[in-house]
């Protein structure tokens, strides 16, 4: 380790240099504060400790100490005052100037050895901490890239284009609180007359919640055909029957309950089937936020009822199915609690504000309305980012399909 000493008295300087060299240190002597400052500026990358006399011509120890502390260096520089000024106020002044330690003259070689050893430990700890921080920085960068890749993968699962069906307008938004999200949704055709749609929200957020939401997405997506979760086979035309919403959620409860309990997770969900010809809308709500029904005259209704979240080990019999008959121009809005629980200075945004928003904007195109809602929530909370994952899915029915 390289040590700079600033001492104007030649005998004291040589004596100090000898003691330090006996400790295995490389010593650079300076005859006064000005010379020490010039040496430090030239060699600050290699100097790790400076021992400073207080009273020196040209530049005293206090000024030298302050200048060194104000200088940006690639590592920590440990400063020790060595002075005959040993009063309490002198020691305080030296430490306030930036010194780490203080030794009074005449110094005891044993004390000097102990104080220098303490400084070496600090320097070594700083070096290790810097190395660990660099390693952590590299690891964080790798993790960031992995999470960005996971976020792109999750985003690719969401429908990039919602189904284009005559008489039905769709819109959706997806806002993860971090890189990945526990929210997910989908809209799909079940047959010529029926569309299925769902929104689910896995408890928590981050990677674990995202993995579960992707698993559920795959379970709800890979068998859009006449068998399995969404449809069951029949021997006669049309050779399948669409499972009602209550049954779909009950099947998910049976499949996922044990895994969710083991992992300490649950999920809320709305699964619905909509008949685009008749306006029949059947849905089952499992602990999710209450959906909104906006009538064509602007009146709004929160659709209460439903059962508990999936994964709490409660009876699937608690899940109830609800039935609506939409009129032309009616809208349905489903959203996760990341929107209603967005927090600002006034508290949480709340379901009532969301309901009031859609009452005021019921004539607006759905995509435009969802964009305006998000801007209103961001303004309410005073920031762009959401504390929790958030998503919203909306549909408006214009009336029966023309033959």
pLDDT for the residue 178: 66
Record the tokens describing residue 206, joined without a space: 């981050």
The pair phi, psi for residue 328, each rounded to 5°, is -55, 130
pLDDT for the residue 205: 65
Read off the pLDDT of residues 95-121 as tens digits, 9 standing for 90 and up: 888 899 988 888 888 998 999 999 999
CA neighbor of 183 nearest in space, from 144, 222, 138, 214: 214
Do 223 and 341 fall within a single domain? Answer: yes
The verdict on residue 139 lying in a domain is no
Q: Yes or no: say if 111 and 15 are a contact pair by the CB < 8 Å rule.
A: no
Do 111 and 163 fall within a single domain? Answer: no
Residues 6+ apart with CB under 8 A from 310: 249, 252, 253, 256, 257, 260, 266, 267, 268, 269, 286, 287
Split into its structural domains, the chain has a count of 2
Do 208 and 263 fall within a single domain? Answer: yes
Read off the pLDDT of residues 178-223 as tens digits, 9 standing for 90 and up: 666 678 899 999 998 999 999 999 887 667 777 888 888 888 875 5
Read off the pLDDT of residues 78-90 as tens digits, 9 standing for 90 and up: 999 888 887 888 8
Residue 348 has pLDDT above 90, yes or no: yes
The verdict on residue 153 lying in a domain is no
Read off the pLDDT of residues 260-289 as tens digits, 9 standing for 90 and up: 888 888 999 999 999 999 999 999 999 999
Do 126 and 163 fall within a single domain? Answer: no
The verdict on residue 393 lying in a domain is yes
Calculate what percentage of the chain has a pLDDT beyond 90. 54
Read off the pLDDT of residues 359-396 as tens digits, 9 standing for 90 and up: 999 999 999 999 999 999 999 999 998 888 889 999 99
Do 213 and 275 fall within a single domain? Answer: yes
Mean pLDDT value across residues 150-161? 70
| Owning domain of residue 368 | 158-397
The verdict on residue 371 lying in a domain is yes
Residue at a domain's end among 81, 110, 130: 130
Do 116 and 170 fall within a single domain? Answer: no
Do 125 and 203 fall within a single domain? Answer: no
Mean pLDDT value across residues 44-68? 91
Q: Looking at residue 304, which CATH number applies to its domain?
A: 3.60.40.10
Do 184 and 260 fall within a single domain? Answer: yes
Residue at a domain's end among 130, 150, 170: 130
Read off the pLDDT of residues 238-255 as tens digits, 9 standing for 90 and up: 878 899 999 999 989 988
The verdict on residue 224 lying in a domain is yes
The verdict on residue 23 lying in a domain is yes
The verdict on residue 150 lying in a domain is no
H/E stretch holding 337 reads: helix 337-340
pLDDT for the residue 226: 54
Q: Tell me the whole-structure pTM to 2 decimals.
A: 0.67
Do 211 and 332 fall within a single domain? Answer: yes
Residue at a domain's end among 111, 130, 149: 130
Kindly indicate the confidence band of residue 315, based on its pLDDT and cuts at 50, 70 and 90: low
pLDDT for the residue 279: 96
Do 198 and 319 fall within a single domain? Answer: yes
pLDDT for the residue 213: 83
Do 16 and 76 fall within a single domain? Answer: yes
Q: What is the DSSP letter of 307?
A: B
Kindly indicate the confidence band of residue 167, based on its pLDDT and cuts at 50, 70 and 90: very high
pLDDT for the residue 373: 97
Do 179 and 293 fall within a single domain? Answer: yes
pLDDT for the residue 217: 86
Q: Looking at residue 93, which CATH number applies to its domain?
A: 3.40.50.2300
């Amino acid at each position: 380790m390289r040590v700079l000493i600033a001492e104007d008295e030649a005998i004291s300087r040589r004596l100090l240099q000898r003691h330090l060299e006996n400790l295995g240190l490389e010593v650079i002597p300076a005859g006064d504060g000005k010379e020490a400052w010039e040496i430090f500026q030239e060699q600050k990358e290699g100097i790790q400790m400076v021992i400073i006399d207080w009273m020196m011509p040209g530049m005293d120890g206090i000024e030298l100490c302050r200048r060194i502390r104000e200088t940006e260096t690639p590592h920590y520089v440990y400063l020790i005052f060595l002075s005959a000024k040993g009063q309490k106020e002198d020691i305080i002044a030296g430490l306030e100037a930036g010194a780490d330690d203080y030794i009074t003259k005449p110094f005891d070689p044993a004390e000097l050895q102990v104080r220098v050893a303490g400084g070496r430990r600090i320097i070594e700890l700083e070096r290790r901490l810097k190395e660990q921080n660099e390693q952590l920085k590299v690891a964080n960068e790798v993790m960031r890239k992995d999470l960005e890749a996971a976020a792109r993968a999750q985003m690719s699962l969401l429908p990039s284009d919602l189904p284009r069906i005559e008489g039905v307008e769709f819109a959706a938004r997806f806002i993860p609180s971090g890189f990945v999200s526990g929210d997910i949704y989908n809209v799909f055709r079940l047959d010529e007359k029926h569309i299925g749609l769902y929104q689910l929200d896995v408890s928590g957020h981050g990677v674990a919640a995202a993995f579960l939401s992707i698993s559920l997405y795959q379970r709800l997506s890979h068998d859009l055909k006449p068998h399995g979760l969404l449809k069951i086979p029949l021997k006669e035309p049309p050779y399948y029957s669409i499972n009602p919403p209550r049954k779909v959620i009950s099947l998910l409860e049976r499949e996922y309950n044990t895994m969710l309990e083991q992992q300490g997770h649950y999920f809320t969900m709305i699964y619905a089937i909509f008949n685009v010809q008749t306006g029949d809308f059947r849905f089952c709500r499992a602990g999710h936020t209450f959906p909104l029904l906006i009538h064509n005259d602007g009146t709004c209704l929160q659709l209460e009822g439903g059962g508990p979240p999936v994964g709490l080990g409660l009876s699937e019999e608690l899940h109830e199915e609800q039935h609506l008959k939409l009129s032309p121009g009616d809208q349905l809005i489903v959203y996760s609690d990341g929107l209603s629980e967005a927090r600002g200075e006034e508290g949480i945004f709340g379901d009532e504000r969301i309901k009031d928003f859609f009452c005021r904007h019921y004539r607006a195109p759905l995509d435009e309305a969802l964009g305006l809602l998000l801007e209103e929530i961001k303004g309410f909370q005073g920031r762009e980012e959401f504390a929790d994952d958030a998503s919203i899915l909306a549909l408006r029915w214009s009336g029966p399909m023309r033959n």
